[in-house]
Structure 1
Amino acid sequence: MQPPQEITADWRTFEPTELGPILDHALEAFDENGFHGTTVRDLARRVGVTVPALYYHHENKEAVLMALLDTAVRNLIDRCEAAVAEAGEDPLLRFTNFYEAVVLNMTHRAQQSALDSEVRHLSPENRRRYAATRKRLELMALDLVTDGTRKGVFAVDDIAETVRALLGMAQSIARWFQIDGPLTPDEVADRYTAIALRVVGRPTASR
């Protein structure tokens, strides 16, 4: 399994992904044909290796998907942690940076982020493993919204449902965003972060 890529000091910077030949081609194939519509033979052909050679690196097609999902979510978590840390102790800025980091990731890494919809193809064990890692992102958001609400910065009645709604809204971006479309990643981040702030009861914020 490939380790998450190192996050630069500037969490808003997205360098070209370097997943390796197998995962790079698998990402393209899954994006084009979906997990179910991509065969191991097709993956091997794209990479330029034999099927046995592919199995030498990954046990099966599900293992390839799991490697892509794990790399994507860990990278996202690292980026969000860097964004929150940069904000210091300001609860408003911590949440704002966090959500901006999530949205920027969903745009700059739309292909990887969209793979979340393929989780249904994982075995129960792998699904639990992935869910446990992804839960760290939800817990981070819960902590930020809870802290802001407790300090009177936000006005949220149901924190858990609000966080689920906010993360779901961000996740949906990967399904429609195109890097060559009418909106840039920064524009999408500005708009969605403004929406997120209204959801938590904070219509304006110092950016």
Structure 2
Amino acid sequence: MDDSDRPDDWRDFGRETFPPLLRGALTCFAGQGYHGTTIRTIAAAVGLSVPGLYHHYASKQELLAAVMEQAIGDLLTRTRAAVDRAGDDPLRRFDAVVESLVLFHAHRRDEAFVAASELRALEPAHRERLVGMRDEQEGLLYAAVADCVARGDFPATAAREAGRAVITMCTAVATWYHISGPIAPEELAATYVLLARRTMGLPDPGTAG
């Protein structure tokens, strides 16, 4: 994916990224789960007949795969842009990945929830492709962690496991955060950057370490 495909501002969540049909399917999957959602339910939600829906997607499985590819692709695109703009400094890249994860999981709760919870519902061909995208996303954080270890920013002991803990912490935001709550996504992301650094063993600025 080249720069022309990347959002002008990876922190901007004001624009709709889902086509209307996929948005309707996403809402159904988020509310009722993949197995609890029927094609008829999705068709009604988007104002189509069942045959009209099948004109666009051959099956509910194809719809799920398209929804998840849109969601995971959006996160991956934003995180690539965040990493690119962070430059060569590994700690800035680490911070950027954490911020991207938190902002996405705060602003795009339904997308994040379906992408995480319905991987098990995918058929093997779709699962392999989408797990590959997810692994690439996680690899951006692991690469920054490895570079931080090499430079001496983070201790080498259990760095991979600490990185996994950071990813889990960030993605869990979608399970409890609500945009109407008292904490703005940007404030939450800034807090999580500090928490993530602590998890990796980096002292807070100004403390002895």
TM-score normalised to structure 1 length: 0.91
Q: Are the aligned partners of 2:43 and 2:50 in contact in 1 as well (CA < 8 Å)?
A: yes
Matched, 1:178 2:178: yes
RMSD: 1.8
Q: Are the aligned partners of 2:107 and 2:179 in contact in 1 as well (CA < 8 Å)?
A: yes
- Give the distance between the partners of 1:205 and 1:144, measured in 2 at CA: 19
Identify the residue that residue 123 of structure 1 maps to in structure 2.
123
- Give the distance between the partners of 1:120 and 1:17, measured in 2 at CA: 27
The offset of 1:171, in angstroms, is 1.3
Identify the residue that residue 198 of structure 1 maps to in structure 2.
198
Identify the residue that residue 64 of structure 1 maps to in structure 2.
63
- Give the distance between the partners of 2:135 and 2:196, measured in 1 at CA: 19
- Give the distance between the partners of 1:186 and 1:203, measured in 2 at CA: 22
Q: Are the aligned partners of 1:26 and 1:43 in contact in 2 as well (CA < 8 Å)?
A: yes
Matched, 1:147 2:122: no
The offset of 1:44, in angstroms, is 0.6
The offset of 1:49, in angstroms, is 1.0
The offset of 1:201, in angstroms, is 1.4
Call closer, same or farther: CA 1:127–1:190 in 2, change over 3 Å: same
> One-letter code of the match for 1:155?
P
The offset of 1:144, in angstroms, is 0.4
> One-letter code of the match for 2:144?
L
Unaligned runs of 5+ in 2: none
- Give the distance between the partners of 1:98 and 1:124, measured in 2 at CA: 28
- Give the distance between the partners of 1:156 and 1:205, measured in 2 at CA: 20
Which string of whole-angstrom CA distances, capped at 9 and with x for unpartnered residues, describes residues 37-75 of structure 1? 111101011111111111111121121111111111111
Which string of whole-angstrom CA distances, capped at 9 and with x for unpartnered residues, describes residues 55-113 of structure 1? 11112112111111111111111111111111211111111111101111111111101
| Identity, % of aligned positions | 37
> One-letter code of the match for 1:132?
G
> One-letter code of the match for 1:165?
A
Identify the residue that residue 23 of structure 2 maps to in structure 1.
24
- Map 1:4-83 to 2 at 5 A: 6-83=5-82
Q: Are the aligned partners of 2:30 and 2:110 in contact in 1 as well (CA < 8 Å)?
A: yes
Q: Are the aligned partners of 1:154 and 1:201 in contact in 2 as well (CA < 8 Å)?
A: yes
Which string of whole-angstrom CA distances, capped at 9 and with x for unpartnered residues, describes residues 122-161 of structure 1? 1122211111111101211111000000000112412332
Identify the residue that residue 110 of structure 1 maps to in structure 2.
109
The offset of 1:199, in angstroms, is 1.0
- Give the distance between the partners of 1:34 and 1:16, measured in 2 at CA: 25
3-state DSSP of counterpart to 2:176: coil
3-state DSSP of counterpart to 2:175: coil
TM-score normalised to structure 2 length: 0.90
Call closer, same or farther: CA 1:135–1:200 in 2, change over 3 Å: same
Q: Are the aligned partners of 1:156 and 1:201 in contact in 2 as well (CA < 8 Å)?
A: no
Identify the residue that residue 100 of structure 1 maps to in structure 2.
99
